[in-house]
């Protein structure tokens, strides 16, 4: 073995030894032993270099950029991570049939949301996401998520309470430019503490949380009373592990309960114009209950989303009081003409836009019906039927072009009919054409 090593490292050994003094009487084995020793020393030096390089690699951050994870900086063992992402939406709203010029055709930045996600010490995740859209600065998400086990996580901070189905969908993954009317009856963002997790490999997910409590559609940073809201959600994918046509079916039930007092919300149309407001002297004063059964179904290029939402609130005006129950529902369907996979989290085209290769991304057709009905007992004491409509019924058609996972173009037509809401009877229908260019990463 010694002679094989000599044959491999003779040249290197001679260089390391330097000029050899002539030795007349040295035995051949002495020379071999000297060379062998030098080779061992060089091998050890090489091992030390490798160990030093490995030690350095353990402390060298890993920097990456991809369409899936955005810009990421993390430790080699992923115990510490920072992901910089976000999305921006440039919209256009063009009102049709607006002879009175009551609305302004406009371009706007609907959402501009840088997003900072990360991990601290392996088990603690965080997110900070402000929004600069519409010329205002609002903090939407700021929370910690103690992610020890998939089935048991603890989240604390400001985030979406687990109630509305479409509200829980990312703003970058929406099927239409604006969310449906049921989202008007559920909280937007709230501060609180939530326990949540996935069980059975994703067959069942749950969330239970205690929150400050916000009005329907509300986004607040400060509590206005001592009461708190309890919110919970169960969402099941009972056929997830099968191969039947029902594999993509998910069913859920969510709700919240609490007591509140103070200001009440206004409800808006898809064009973001208020169509229902309470009288100035009407306030919340008592129990508030929300209930939201929901479902999704995704199979291949087909997607379905449906939800029904009830918001029940005790209100008072001077000496009068009532418990009003408003209802809303929606059913939305989509189909990808390009054959790509439809999902709740958005579309990732198999072939991103690249005309040089004959690739055009994914093209998606979408349709939706949705309605919000105000409790008839709201009139005439708590709301004026000549100013506030008693219902809004809308339908939408959309064409979405997903150039890539990160870029999307939307073109929607939305028409909303109203009952009441005008001094002469029914409020004029809202007919509006939306367009959007979105970049998300």
The radius of gyration of the chain's CA atoms, rounded to the nearest angstrom, is 31
d(Cα 388, Cα 416) in Å, to the nearest integer? 14
pLDDT at 256: 98
pLDDT at 1 over 50: no
pLDDT at 7 over 80: no
Q: What is the mean pLDDT of the chain?
A: 92
d(Cα 193, Cα 287) in Å, to the nearest integer? 21
pLDDT at 209: 98
Strand partners of residue 434 = 93, 412
Query: How far does the chain reach from its first CA to its final CA, in angstroms?
Result: 58
pLDDT at 5 over 60: no
12 pLDDT band, cuts 50/70/90, is: very low
pLDDT at 130: 98
d(Cα 357, Cα 380) in Å, to the nearest integer? 63
Cis peptide bond prior to 80, omega within 30° of 0:
no
Residues 6+ apart with CB under 8 A from 16: 38, 41, 42
pLDDT > 70 in the chain, percent: 93
Q: Which CATH architecture has domain 85-114+121-440?
A: Beta Barrel (2.40)
Q: Which of 31, 12, 9 is nearest to 22 (CA)?
A: 31
pLDDT at 31: 82
pLDDT > 90 in the chain, percent: 80
27 pLDDT band, cuts 50/70/90, is: low
Lowest mean pLDDT among 17-21, 88-92, 121-125: 17-21
Query: CB under 8 Å, gap of 24 or more: what pairs does 165-172 form?
Result: 165/252, 165/254, 165/292, 165/294, 165/296, 165/305, 165/307, 166/305, 166/307, 166/330, 169/344, 169/345, 170/345, 170/346, 171/87, 171/89, 171/111, 171/113, 172/87, 172/89, 172/346, 172/438, 172/440
User: What is the pTM for the complete model shown?
Assistant: 0.86
d(Cα 347, Cα 363) in Å, to the nearest integer? 10
DSSP state at residue 388 = S
pLDDT at 29: 76
pLDDT at 350: 95
Lowest mean pLDDT among 18-32, 114-128, 191-205, 323-337: 18-32
Give the largest Cα separation in the chain, rounded.
124
Do 374 and 384 touch, CB atoms closer than 8 A? no
Mean pLDDT, rounded, for 301-325 = 98
d(Cα 186, Cα 310) in Å, to the nearest integer? 9
Dihedral sign, Cα of residue 396, residue 399, residue 405, residue 408: negative
Side-chain-side CA neighbours of residue 262 (13 Å):
11
Mean pLDDT, rounded, for 129-148 = 96
Mean pLDDT, rounded, for 137-163 = 97
């Amino acid at each position: 073995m010694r002679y094989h090593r000599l044959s491999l490292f003779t040249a290197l050994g001679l260089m390391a030894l330097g000029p050899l003094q002539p030795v007349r009487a040295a035995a051949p084995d002495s020379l071999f032993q000297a060379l062998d020793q030098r080779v061992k020393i060089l091998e050890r030096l090489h091992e030390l270099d490798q160990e030093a390089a490995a030690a350095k690699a353990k402390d060298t951050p890993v920097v990456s950029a991809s369409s899936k994870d955005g810009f990421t900086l993390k430790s080699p063992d992923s115990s510490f991570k920072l992901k910089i992402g976000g999305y921006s939406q440039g919209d256009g709203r063009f009102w049709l049939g607006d002879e009175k010029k009551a609305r302004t055709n406009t371009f706007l930045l609907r959402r501009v949301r840088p997003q900072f996600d990360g991990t601290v010490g392996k088990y603690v995740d965080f997110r900070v996401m402000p929004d600069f859209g519409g010329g205002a600065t609002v903090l939407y998400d700021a929370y910690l998520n103690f992610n020890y086990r998939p089935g048991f996580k603890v989240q604390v901070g400001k985030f979406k309470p687990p109630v509305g189905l479409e509200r829980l969908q990312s703003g970058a993954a929406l099927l239409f430019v604006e969310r449906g009317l049921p989202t008007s009856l559920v909280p937007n963002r709230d501060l609180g503490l939530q326990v949540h997790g996935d069980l059975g490999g994703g067959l069942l997910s749950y969330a239970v949380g205690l929150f400050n409590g916000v009005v329907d559609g509300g986004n607040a940073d400060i509590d206005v009373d001592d009461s708190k809201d309890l919110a919970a959600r169960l969402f099941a994918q009972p056929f997830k592990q099968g191969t039947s046509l029902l594999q993509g079916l998910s069913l859920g039930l969510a709700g919240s309960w609490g007591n509140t007092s103070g200001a009440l919300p206004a409800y808006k149309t898809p064009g973001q114009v208020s169509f229902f407001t309470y009288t100035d002297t009407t306030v919340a004063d008592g129990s508030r209950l929300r209930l939201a059964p929901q479902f999704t179904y995704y199979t291949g290029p087909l997607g379905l989303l449906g939800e029904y939402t009830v918001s029940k609130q005790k209100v008072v005006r001077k000496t009068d009081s009532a418990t009003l129950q408003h209802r809303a529902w929606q059913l939305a369907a989509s189909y990808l003409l390009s054959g790509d996979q439809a999902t709740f989290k958005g579309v990732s085209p198999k072939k991103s836009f690249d005309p040089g290769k004959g690739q055009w991304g994914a093209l998606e057709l979408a349709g939706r019906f949705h309605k919000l009905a105000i409790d008839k007992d709201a009139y005439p004491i708590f709301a004026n039927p000549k100013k506030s409509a008693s219902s809004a019924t809308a339908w939408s058609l959309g064409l979405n072009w997903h150039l890539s996972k990160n870029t999307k173009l939307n073109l929607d037509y939305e028409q909303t009919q109203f009952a009441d809401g005008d001094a002469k009877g029914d409020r004029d229908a809202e007919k509006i054409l939306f367009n959007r260019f979105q970049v998300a990463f």
